[in-house]
Homo-oligomer: A and B are copies of this chain.
Amino acid sequence: SQTLKIATIAGDGIGKEVMPEGLRVLRAASQQFNIPLEIQTFDWANCDYYQQTGEMMPADWKAQLQGFDAIYFGAVGWPATTPDHVSLWGSLLKFRREFDQYINLRPVRLFEGVPCPLAGRKAGDIDFLVVRENTEGEYTNLGGVLFEGTDREIVIQESVFSRIGTDRVLRYAFELANQRPRKSLTVATKSNGIAISMPWWDKRADAMAANYPEVAVDKQHIDILSARFVLQPQRFDVVVASNLFGDILSDLGPACTGTIGLAPSANLNPERNFPSLFEPVHGSAPDIYGKGIANPIAMIWSGAMMLQFLGYADAHDAILKSVEDILKAGPHTPDLGGQASTQDVGKAIAQNI
């Protein structure tokens, strides 16, 4: 089989601490499953680089990364030196958009060994996927300010939804739901308040649903949908949402399973015209950086999703099985009530594959 070319970008904060453990587990899986890996490290797309150069990435970043199968990404953001909208728009959001990673896939699952903030739920009760549109919608820098600096100041912010962008994420979500035993898809909307884009989004969902008669579709407004993540999390199977709504739901879902620090994500260009990107959801966590206590599981699980996407479902399953074992039996980092270090957990998961 062909060598997988992986670009790694650790980024900022705990991104730098969890990356080595992600790589440790990736290498263990590659040995076990005979996956030829070629790994190359990139030292830009972080706020130190920005402080030195005034840019988050070199001008030829796209050319440098274009040949890779995937980008394995830690976390970016260091608000003490660099405003978030500068660091994010200069790196992560650029990748998502310019590499057309239009699917952001985020699993939500309740594990044994992870204290659940919801009462009376047990492992297996919660197991769903958030499919988030990842290139357009509410995340734009279009618009502007009128009467700037005066009492009459007015700001316009534009959201942009294209039929191409909307249909492809809906199609992906319907396909995914169709492959799962429950065949159930929840479509996040807010057509009762956001009066142009969301009624249109609903119509696109209806049109797509006509192609998937076996999928049970349920449109829910984002306010009540958020509430139901807390009240009835067992009812969800696949949830599809716009960029912003998907962002909210894919933090809220993991929060409901106690796995905010464990949640992985895949930023996919399904056609593989560009490298896809795999990253933990947790961000750079300045408050705990430098202590060696960050939980590396989100990074490791993201690596598993990367192998799955690149054709090694068996390696994915083995890593996830190992993660499940360690979550059950320890060692645990402090966020899960343990005393283990980032390294301890990474090593345990690698050895257990």
Interface residues of A, Cβ cutoff 8 Å to B: 77, 83-85, 88-89, 93, 115-120, 138-145, 150-164, 190-200, 222-224, 226-228, 230-231, 243-244, 247-248, 250-252, 254-256, 260
21 A-B residue pairings within 8 Å (CB atoms): A118-B230, A138-B193, A143-B159, A145-B196, A152-B162, A152-B163, A154-B160, A154-B163, A157-B158, A157-B160, A157-B197, A157-B198, A158-B158, A158-B159, A223-B251, A226-B248, A227-B260, A230-B252, A230-B256, A248-B248, A252-B252
| Contact partners of A226 in chain B: CB under 8 A | 226, 248, 251-252, 255
| Contact partners of A162 in chain B: CB under 8 A | 152-155
Asked if A159 and B160 sit within 8 Å, CB to CB, the answer is no
Known pairs A85-B195, A139-B195 / 20 extra A-B pairs, C-beta < 8 Å: A83-B199, A85-B191, A88-B192, A118-B230, A140-B194, A140-B196, A143-B159, A143-B196, A152-B164, A153-B162, A154-B160, A155-B160, A155-B200, A157-B160, A158-B196, A223-B247, A226-B248, A226-B251, A228-B255, A252-B252
Q: Which residue of B lies closest to A245 (CB)?
A: B248
Oligomeric state, in number of copies?
2
Q: Which residue of B lies closest to A204 (CB)?
A: B153
In the assembled complex, the Cα of A117 lies from the Cα of B247 at a distance in Å of 23
Selected from B88, B152, B157, B164, the residue in CB contact (under 8 A) with A151 is: B164
Selected from B138, B164, B193, the residue in CB contact (under 8 A) with A194 is: B138
The distance from the CB of A133 to the nearest CB of chain B, in whole angstroms, is: 12
The distance from the CB of A310 to the nearest CB of chain B, in whole angstroms, is: 28
- The listed residue with most B CB atoms (<10 A of its CB), out of A77, A164, A224, A227, is A227
Selected from B140, B196, B231, the residue in CB contact (under 8 A) with A141 is: B196
| Contact partners of A230 in chain B: CB under 8 A | 117-118, 230, 252, 255-256
Selected from B143, B196, B222, the residue in CB contact (under 8 A) with A144 is: B196
Asked if A88 and B247 sit within 8 Å, CB to CB, the answer is no
In the assembled complex, the Cα of A308 lies from the Cα of B175 at a distance in Å of 52
Asked if A195 and B118 sit within 8 Å, CB to CB, the answer is no
Asked if A251 and B224 sit within 8 Å, CB to CB, the answer is yes
| Contact partners of A140 in chain B: CB under 8 A | 194-196
In the assembled complex, the Cα of A138 lies from the Cα of B245 at a distance in Å of 13
The distance from the CB of A90 to the nearest CB of chain B, in whole angstroms, is: 11
Q: Which residue of B lies closest to A136 (CB)?
A: B154
| Contact partners of A141 in chain B: CB under 8 A | 195-196
Q: Which residue of B lies closest to A145 (CB)?
A: B200
In the assembled complex, the Cα of A251 lies from the Cα of B227 at a distance in Å of 6
